[in-house]
Structure 1
Amino acid sequence: MTKQPTLFEWMGGREAVATLLEKFYEKVKQDDLLKPLFQHMADDHHAHVAMWFEEVLGGTTIYTEDRGGFKTMLRRHRGRKIQPEQRERWVALMLQTADEIELPTDPEFRSAFVAYIEWGSRRALANSQPDAPPSKRETVPRWGWGEAPPGTE
């Protein structure tokens, strides 16, 4: 019996994730709606988000080991006051970039990938508000092929 690949493996591993995030953030820098949210991002921001995606989508725990894990990501969003239209644009640009770099288009992968992008962006929106309650989560979520993993509330 062969082991089912992770989403990270299926999409092409570290190289594919790095390309996705590099090209995506090139678009973000030019987008009038998103530019204000990211105007102070470091030049290597895309690399840090790629580390997050790698871990979430089933790769190594590189974000936790090198960047501090879930609590670090949470702190990066606190107080940013992301607006719903900014979240929607972020998702649209992410999916556009996924198409442009030719991530796999099979329905199983795209369903799981889009589910994570939607869920993650909604969590970022909620956690960015001034009145956001503290998160109960302690660890980076691990996203798979089916239903959302436990503790993704």
Structure 2
Amino acid sequence: MKTNPTLYQWAGDIQTFEILFESFYYQVLKDNLLGGVFKDMSSQHIKHVAHFVAQVFGGPSLYTSEDRGSHAIMIGHHIGKMLNEEQRQRWVQLLLLTADELALKSDPEFRSAFVGYLEWGTRIAVINSQLVNNPMASEEPMPTWGWGETGGPFVQGN
């Protein structure tokens, strides 16, 4: 029985994600709306984001092992940043434009999952950016994203 590839496998490999985010953040730093938000990012930021998204998409656990990150740490990077909807939308727009420029897989199924994750993740980032304390416990698992599964703001059993 053949199993479906992960989003990571379908997209390519770790280099695919590293090139995507290197190219993307190059554009972000030049952007009038986002440049100021990211001008002081660490030298490791781009690699960490690439590793985080690759891991969420079913790739190797580089973010949690090599980068010593966690979901709580990623959430923590957004606390107090006071991001707004216009910045969120521009971030998504620039990433999708970069994906197109680099010819990231563009089949409807992959792009649907990719956009779904970007919408979910960036909306969480904006919510958490309004907080002063990290709401996530350090032992919370990393999110995983597949071909169509979604979480929800609901509690099962209600």
Global fold match (TM > 0.5): yes
Pair 41,131 (structure 1): closer, same or farther in 2 beyond 3 Å: closer
Q: Indicate the residue corresponding to 1:9 in structure 2.
A: 9
Percent identity between matched residues is 46
Q: Tell me how far apart the structure 2 counterparts of residues 141 and 151 of structure 1 sit (CA, whole Å).
A: 14
| 1:1-153 correspondence runs (5 A) | 1-65=1-65, 66-130=67-131, 134-135=135-136, 138-149=140-151
TM-superposed CA distance for 1:68, in Å, is 2.5
Q: Tell me how far apart the structure 2 counterparts of residues 107 and 118 of structure 1 sit (CA, whole Å).
A: 16
User: Mean alpha-carbon deviation: is it higher for 79-88 or for 41-50?
Assistant: 41-50
Counterpart contact for 1:21–1:50, Cα < 8 Å = yes
RMSD of the alignment, in Å? 2.1
**Structure 2: which amino acid aligns with 1:26?**
Y
- Structure 2: 5+ residue stretches without partners: none
What are the Cα deviations for residues 95-123 of structure 1, in whole angstroms up to 9, with x where unaligned?
00010100111111000000001110000
| Local SS of the residue matching 1:64 | coil
| Local SS of the residue matching 2:127 | helix
Compute the TM-score of the two structures, normalised by the length of structure 1: 0.92
**Structure 2: which amino acid aligns with 1:148?**
T
Q: Tell me how far apart the structure 2 counterparts of residues 143 and 75 of structure 1 sit (CA, whole Å).
A: 20
Compute the TM-score of the two structures, normalised by the length of structure 2: 0.89
Q: Tell me how far apart the structure 2 counterparts of residues 150 and 61 of structure 1 sit (CA, whole Å).
A: 24
- Structure 1: 5+ residue stretches without partners: none
Q: Tell me how far apart the structure 2 counterparts of residues 134 and 47 of structure 1 sit (CA, whole Å).
A: 24
Q: Tell me how far apart the structure 1 counterparts of residues 16 and 133 of structure 2 sit (CA, whole Å).
A: 33
How many equivalent residue pairs?
153
Pair 47,131 (structure 1): closer, same or farther in 2 beyond 3 Å: closer
